[in-house]
Chains A and B, each alone.
Chain A
Amino acid sequence: QVQLVQSGSELERPGASVKVSCKASGYTFTDYGMTWVRRAPGQRLEWMGWVATDTREPTYAQAFTGRFVFSFDNTITTAYLQIFSLRAEDTAVYYCARKVRGLYYFDYWGQGTLVTVSS
């Protein structure tokens, strides 16, 4: 069965960076893109963008350009979200989710990773 298992919670200082992982199993990794979704405290879910696992091309939503990087290692079927120069407002739960081919809804999700940015 399809599973996306994310790395554990992170506590980071402002200005640091963090890398969240998302281990995929149960399907051919390069057949589906991987998307990232954020939920900040008290906010609604927010689509961050996605990475095409066949072409390696990332697409970032406007609010997530510059400090956010999507990557993956298809040899270990793992996708990554890196956030640089962390700010307090980056505190959120980050989800990876498998993107359906050709469309932008998400059929399997990871359990979420809480990233807390605090001094």
Chain B
Amino acid sequence: EIVLTQSPDTLSLSPGERATLSCRASQSVSSNYLAWYQQKPGQAPRLLIFRASTRATDIPDRFSGGGSGTDFTLSIIRLEPEDFAVYYCQQYGSSPYTFGQGTKLEIK
């Protein structure tokens, strides 16, 4: 089973700043099959990125994904108030499909 470790656990930033979230896999993720999700309290998770760097439908271009193999990043430039949430990475390259523990992006 691939274990995903996200860092940091919590990131405190101000609106307008840039956020960089990390997701590291315990082994290489096949075909860079890595997704990122955003979740706000009481809401359903929302798909942001798939295949490491492809934005999902209607996701603003201030969100970008990168990386390959075992190291992946989610970057958010010019943070908006609605971007403060918890972010999860998920690998879907090999079963069981696993998730990271999450990074909470909070307002500083």
Contact = CB atoms under 8 A, between A and B. Distances in A.
Contacts, number: 53
B108 to A, nearest CB: 25
A67 B35 CA distance: 29
B78 interface: no
Interface string B28-53: 00000101000000111111001000
Interface residues of A, number: 21
Interface residues of B, number: 22
B99 A111 contact: no
A4 B96 contact: no
A95 B45 contact: yes
Contact of B97 (A47, A108, A109): A47
Contact of A112 (B44, B101, B102): B44
A28 interface: no
Interface in A39-75: 44-47, 61-63
Interface in B47-88: 47, 50, 56-57, 88
B98 interface: yes
A47 B100 CA distance: 12
Contact of A104 (B56, B97, B101): B97
A105 to B, nearest CB: 4
B97 A111 contact: no
A106 B39 CA distance: 13
B44 A105 contact: no
Given A44-B102, A103-B33, A107-B56, A61 B95 contact: yes
A44 B101 contact: yes
Closest 7 CB pairs of A and B: A104-B92, A109-B44, A45-B99, A105-B35, A47-B97, A109-B45, A44-B101
